[in-house]
Amino acid sequence: MIHLHYFITRKPALSEEEFHRYWRETHAPIVKRIPQLKGYLQTHRIPFASNNSSYDGEAEVWLEDLEALAGLRKAPEFLDGAARDEPNFIDHKRSDFLVARDHVIIDGPRTPGLVKAVWRMRRKPGVSLGEFRRHWIEIHGVIAAKIPGVRRYVQSHVIDEAYSYAEPRWDGVAQLWWDSPAALSDALKTPQFKEDMRDGEEFIDGGSISFFLAQEYVVITPI
């Protein structure tokens, strides 16, 4: 299974409220018609003091494999539906995507009402891709999983195939769920989070990290 992260920014003419409503109420039913989808959810950015990402959210799609992704791009439901509708609310010049495979560290439920912290990152110069992945899963994953209040934790590692073309901008996305923005704020003050930050300096390029807090809108529950 592959996981497509599509980071999107609203058209300048749209307010945040208009963007999120259109994405949820108009665009979601169109995307739902695409037959290749094994999961589809919208991650809507919400206000939070530590947000530093320029994106308004990310569309997340799960597909069986890269062949299914190629089929999606040719499907009439995509070409005549979702792709045609996107310019109505998305600024493509300020949007981007990556394709990844997931490593579930804490397999908690996607309970409605939870908030999701999204970190995008690349590895530190001098750290090989293998070293980055091993450290992220085996060392950093263990540390981050102990941060107080984490309900679910997933690492999305950019697929090997992406590196056969060129060096991708990012190596992965971390997603962690909390009960509320206040619960995350409390967690950021704990010694365990500080340890998480110190360890991140060992293998993550700090200048590459972007973050936003969000709430999910599940359209097709991921398998």
Mean pLDDT for the stretch of residues 70-86: 97
pLDDT reported for residue 85: 98
Average pLDDT, the chain: 97
Mean pLDDT for the stretch of residues 154-174: 95
CATH number of the domain to which 93 belongs: 3.30.70.100
Confidence tier at 33 by pLDDT (50, 70, 90): very high
| pTM for this model (two decimals) | 0.95
Total domains in the chain come to 1
pLDDT reported for residue 87: 98
Range of the domain at 99: 2-220
Nearest to 59 by CA among 69, 80, 44, 78: 44
Query: Under 8 Å CB-to-CB from 160, ≥6 apart: which residues?
Result: none
At residue 171's C-alpha, the angle toward residues 168 and 177, to 5°, is: 140
Q: How far apart are CA 193 and CA 189, in angstroms?
A: 7
